[in-house]
Amino acid sequence: MKRLAAPDRKVCVACGVCMKACPKNAISIYKGCYALVEEATCVGCGLCAKVCPAGCIVIHERSEAK
Ligand code: SF4
Ligand code: SF4
């Protein structure tokens, strides 16, 4: 099972801390409003969730896309 980071758009304050912490560069700040995770690039390491000051990133399990 692969894992995917899912920031909560309603809670995210667009600080960019997660973006800087991501080793895969999978996060961007969408229109300066909230963190957006590129699903194909994210490896589910959870680093972004650890550093987010708002605690709004959850790591979800996801089934392998075929
Ligand atoms: S879980 Fe890891 S790879 Fe995925 S967005 Fe967060 S820091 Fe990047
Ligand atoms: S660290 Fe948290 S609050 Fe900051 S941009 Fe990322 S998801 Fe949003």
CATH number, domain with residue 46? 3.30.70.20
Domains in the chain, number: 1
List the structure tokens of 31.
């229109």
Q: Which ligand is nearest to the CA of 19?
A: 2
d(CA 64, CA 52): 26
- 65 alpha carbon – ligand 2 mean position (Å): 26
What is the predicted pLDDT for the residue at 62?
84
CA–CA distances in Å: residue 16 to residues 10, 24, 40, 47: 15, 14, 20, 13
- pLDDT for 66 beyond 90: no
Check if 15 has its Cβ closer than 6 Å to any atom of ligand 2: yes
Choose the residue to mutate in 8, 17, 19, 24 for probing ligand 1, maximizing ligand atoms within 8 Å of C-beta. Answer: 24
Spatial neighbors of 31 by CB under 8 A, at least 6 apart, are: none
CA 13 from chain centre, in angstroms, equals 13
- pLDDT for 35 beyond 70: yes
Q: Which ligand is nearest to the CA of 7?
A: 2
pTM higher than the cut 0.75? yes
